[in-house]
Amino acid sequence: MSTTAAREIRAPRGTEKTCATWQAEAAMRMLMNNLDPQVAERPEDLVVYGGRGKAARSWEAFDAIVATLKRMKADETLLVQSGKPVGVVTTHEDAPRVLIANSNLGILQGTYETFAEAGVLNFKENAGNEAGSLVGKLCVTGGCGGMGGAQPLSVTLNGGTCLIADVDLTRLQRRLDDNYLDELADGIDASIDRAVQAAKNKEAVSIGVEANAVDLLARMIERDITPDVLTDQTSAHDALVGYVPTGVTFEEARVLRESDPDEYVRRSMDTMEQHVRHMVTLQKRGAVTFDYGNNLRQRALDNGYEDAFAFPGFVPAYIRPQFCLGRGPFRWVALSGDPKDIYVTDYELLKMFPAEAGAPGSYNARLHRWILGCHANPDALLAGDFENCAPRFAFQGLPSRICWIGLGERDKAGVMFNWLVRDGKVSAPIVIGRDHLDCGSVASPNRETEAMKDGTDAVSDWPLLNAMVNVASGASWVSFHHGGGVGIGFSQHAGQVVVADGTDKAEARVRRVLTNDPMMGVFRHVDAGYEEAEGCMRDQDVDIPMR
Ligand code: NAD
């Protein structure tokens, strides 16, 4: 097979597998799906997102992983070390088919949940508002890339107005094409005028502007305009390959990065310091301000700005209460490639978790608004008329869905998906995974585990235990990584994926994995002294020895 940069990868679709097991087939298709041009940021360089996060170490490594998955027997497990396949061992049929460790040197729906919670906690006047908790609110942010591109849609799904800056016009254009972003404004002032007016009119609309985020904030300060909500998702975790300093165009930045990397990093750090200073100024003027997991505050602190941590990270501010209940980003993919399979799972999920089971604004009601918000024709979904369902925004790569559900819910949903496969209601197996940003799988002191009650922010025994629990429970593949989201030195985290292929064995694995994995979040937060987690422990009969 060719190993040149011009290759275009797309996962096979359909019900025929080329590997011995659906678990290995799923691993292969998901690896390929990561490099689908609809999904990856720079597929030619194997880069999926985050500036330099790669699907495999090299094209040779990619080919070797695929070839190995195809030849592996049902009781074998492949080991992948930082994107390179390094060995195959004989295990057993319930063991993971792949084990992964990345970079261990010494995220749309999570965004929706974060903005929803920001609205619920800060804007009481929107309580119970069917259109969302951000109606009439101006939300300003930067970075419209792989993850950051979810922000405009997440704000509008919650009823708000979003103004987003990116230095790279192609990133904004891509989100415009995908219907994640609604409009492009011509210049900073025009974008501010449009956004302020739209918020006044209570328009759920997102406006992109080609600009450095720092320049946008500087101008807002000058014009004395304060957003209601302020955050940022430029790739600040990487001062060289991610973040772009002010004073240079995007193209000039690219040239400077190559010709004088030290000077580039110096300018980048200065801009990040300025960026955080502006955010703190706007916070003091009344903007609800939070760090969106890119380590921007740490960079500003490193550059000498002592007040850099004046605003909180998004996890302690809006996500931790959900982590205490084992809630987090549950997601699944239809290996058939047929969007109808996802509509079927959507329909069954809404039946399984009825909106009326909770008060307006409850987690179930939020789940319904989210799933229905993903559909261009929600009435067809509610009627179970799958032929007439259509996505509101295009699927990227294999059809997939994500939603936040918790301990006691994820296993039910997973087993139900397995039954849908078994009964032929969906046409091929379903792959179930989650984000690394989850309740019990991460040690990341500037993000998921920032400001833990008991000071255990940096204890990475938890993600290690999480990985081991998932191995023991029979996940289809398990990974352990270093550096996700906030950069090397700032996080360690574990991931798991389990395949529902309709068999009884898969049902047992799905039930175990999707119970034990979120339970790690309850263990972790009970141990750290969170009352919400204690409540969940009692409600769900979670076995914690010293309680
Ligand atoms: P990305 O590299 O795909 O996109 C970053 C975007 O920021 C690019 O489009 C780039 O042009 C733009 N940019 C860089 N500097 C800029 C500046 N000064 N002004 C305006 N635009 C600028 O990265 P991504 O995948 O979107 O992730 C963004 C950040 O969020 C990363 O630091 C990542 O680690 C972090 N992250 C957070 C979460 C989370 O859950 N909160 C999840 C994943 C990633």
Residue 233 is predicted with a pLDDT of 96
Query: Residues 90-107: what's their mean pLDDT?
Result: 77
State which ligand 1 atom lies nearest to the alpha carbon of 246: 18
| Residue numbers annotated as active site | 403
In 3D, which of 495, 329, 479 has the Cα closest to residue 401? 329
Alpha carbon 218 to chain centroid, angstroms:
29
Cβ of 176: how many Cβ atoms within 10 Å?
17
Residues 6+ apart with CB under 8 A from 533: 324, 325, 521, 522, 524, 525, 526
Residue 105, pLDDT > 80, answer no
Residue-wise pLDDT for 347-361, tens only, equals: 999 999 998 765 556
State which ligand 1 atom lies nearest to the alpha carbon of 171: 9
Q: Check: CB of residue 537 under 8 Å from CB of residue 342.
A: no
Alpha carbon 407 to chain centroid, angstroms:
19
Q: Where are the domains of the chain?
A: 107-318
Copy the structure tokens of residue 272. Answer: 């990040």
Residue 280, pLDDT > 90, answer yes
Q: Which residue has the higher pLDDT, 270 or 84?
A: 270
State which ligand 1 atom lies nearest to the alpha carbon of 293: 41
Q: Check: CB of residue 107 under 8 Å from CB of residue 154.
A: no
Nearest CA to ligand 1 atom 39: 293
Residue-wise pLDDT for 300-336, tens only, equals: 999 999 999 999 998 888 899 999 999 999 999 999 9
Q: Which residue has the higher pLDDT, 98 or 545?
A: 98
Copy the structure tokens of residue 449. Answer: 């585990």
70: exposed, middle or buried (C-beta count within 10 Å: 0-12, 13-18, 19+)?
middle
Residues 6+ apart with CB under 8 A from 112: 150, 153, 154, 157, 158, 370
CA distances 39 to 146, 205, 297, 391, 458, Å, are: 9, 24, 29, 16, 32
For ligand 1, the distance from its centroid to the CA atom of residue 114, given in whole angstroms, is 16
Residue 179, pLDDT > 80, answer yes
Most confident segment among 44-48, 479-483, 505-509: 505-509
What does DSSP say about strands 47-49 and 53-54: parallel, antiparallel, or unpaired?
antiparallel
Radius of gyration of the chain (CA): 22
Q: Which of 235, 238, 243, 257 to mutate to test the pocket of ligand 1 (most atoms within 8 A of CB)?
A: 235
How far, in Å, CA of 344 to CA of 341, rounded? 5
Q: Is 489 left (phi over 0), alpha (psi -120 to 50) or beta?
A: left
For ligand 1, the distance from its centroid to the CA atom of residue 390, given in whole angstroms, is 29
Residue 12, pLDDT > 50, answer yes
Confidence of residue 339 (pLDDT cuts 50, 70, 90): very high
Which percentage of the chain shows pLDDT scores above 90? 73
Count of positions (residues) in the chain: 547
| H/E segment holding residue 524 | helix 504-527
Q: Check: CB of residue 204 under 8 Å from CB of residue 159.
A: yes
Q: What is the pLDDT of the chain when averaged over all its residues?
A: 92
Nearest CA to ligand 1 atom 8: 145
Nearest CA to ligand 1 atom 29: 235
| H/E segment holding residue 164 | strand 161-166
Confidence of residue 268 (pLDDT cuts 50, 70, 90): very high
Residue-wise pLDDT for 434-457, tens only, equals: 998 899 999 998 889 988 998 888
Residue 2 is predicted with a pLDDT of 42
Nearest CA to ligand 1 atom 44: 485
| Superfamily of 107-318 according to CATH | Urocanase like domains (3.40.50.10730)
Which residues in 290-415 belong to E strands, given as ranges? Answer: 328-334, 400-405
The DSSP result for 349-385, as a single string, is HHHHS-GGGS-TTSHHHHHHHHHHHTBS-HHHHHTT-
Ligand 1 neighbours by CB, cut-off 6 Å: 41, 49-51, 107, 110, 142-148, 165-168, 171, 212-214, 233-237, 242-244, 292-294, 437, 485
Residue 21, pLDDT > 90, answer yes
Q: Check: CB of residue 417 under 8 Å from CB of residue 432.
A: yes
For ligand 1, the distance from its centroid to the CA atom of residue 172, given in whole angstroms, is 12
pTM above threshold 0.75: yes
Residue 110, pLDDT > 70, answer no
In 3D, which of 311, 299, 235 has the Cα closest to residue 272? 299
Residue 477 has φ and ψ, to the nearest 5°, of -150, 150
Residue-wise pLDDT for 69-84, tens only, equals: 999 999 988 888 878 8
Residue 107 is predicted with a pLDDT of 44
Positive or negative, the Cα torsion across 151, 314, 30, 386?
A: negative
Residue in this structure with the two tokens 């996802």, named with its chain if needed: 342
Confidence of residue 465 (pLDDT cuts 50, 70, 90): confident
For ligand 1, the distance from its centroid to the CA atom of residue 182, given in whole angstroms, is 19
Residue 3 is predicted with a pLDDT of 46
In 3D, which of 304, 384, 310 has the Cα closest to residue 343? 384
Q: Check: CB of residue 55 under 8 Å from CB of residue 39.
A: no
For ligand 1, the distance from its centroid to the CA atom of residue 147, given in whole angstroms, is 7
| H/E segment holding residue 500 | strand 492-500
In 3D, which of 110, 95, 85 has the Cα closest to residue 28? 85
How far, in Å, CA of 367 to CA of 384, rounded? 17
267: exposed, middle or buried (C-beta count within 10 Å: 0-12, 13-18, 19+)?
buried
Nearest CA to ligand 1 atom 41: 293
State which ligand 1 atom lies nearest to the alpha carbon of 271: 18
End-to-end CA distance of the chain: 57
For ligand 1, the distance from its centroid to the CA atom of residue 143, given in whole angstroms, is 5
